[in-house]
Amino acid sequence: VRSPLSCLENSPGYLVKLAGTIECSTGRPALVYIMYGCYCGLGGQGWPRDRADWCCHKHDCCYDDAEIAGCETKIDQYQWTCIDMVPDCGTCERILCQCDQEVAKCLGKAPFTGKYALWPDFLCGYEHPTCNIY
């Protein structure tokens, strides 16, 4: 089954790609994660609040690794398709696609906890896990 989001596959912008993979795996609009917990959306600080927030923390770490490898995480493009609720990727493009694919699968398995939607940053604190835990 192909997602109606497949029309977005070739659109520019990493956020459209990421949003599409998340919607493919979760069946939820990606916008529900825009300020979810302490790590979903832009930035990130403090301790992840739940499994979904841990998914976003891991995605941030994946993008950090991609940048260390020389990738431009905000502008590099890649192609993907959605088949049977699984985003599929077709060097840097592969790394970014895999980062987004992993967070989408992770969020698809994690429960969505409504109280963490629109979670304010000041409740996150400053102690945070490092990326070397993955």
- Residue 90 labeled ligand binder: no
H helix runs in 1-50, sequence order: 14-26
Nearest residue to 18 via CA among 91, 78, 92, 84: 78
- The alpha carbons of the chain give a radius of gyration, in whole angstroms, of 14
Q: Which DSSP category does 67 fall into?
A: H
Residue 88 CB neighbours (<10 A): 14
Give the Cα separation of 21 and 120 in Å (integer): 25
116 marked as part of a ligand binding site? no
Whether 134 has a binding-site annotation, put simply, is no
**How far is residue 73's CA from residue 115's CA, in Å, rounded to a whole number?**
29
Active site amino acids: 59, 100
Longest dimension (CA), the chain: 43
Establish whether 43 is an annotated binding residue: yes
Binding residue ranges: 39, 41, 43, 60
Binding residue ranges for Ca(2+): 39, 41, 43, 60
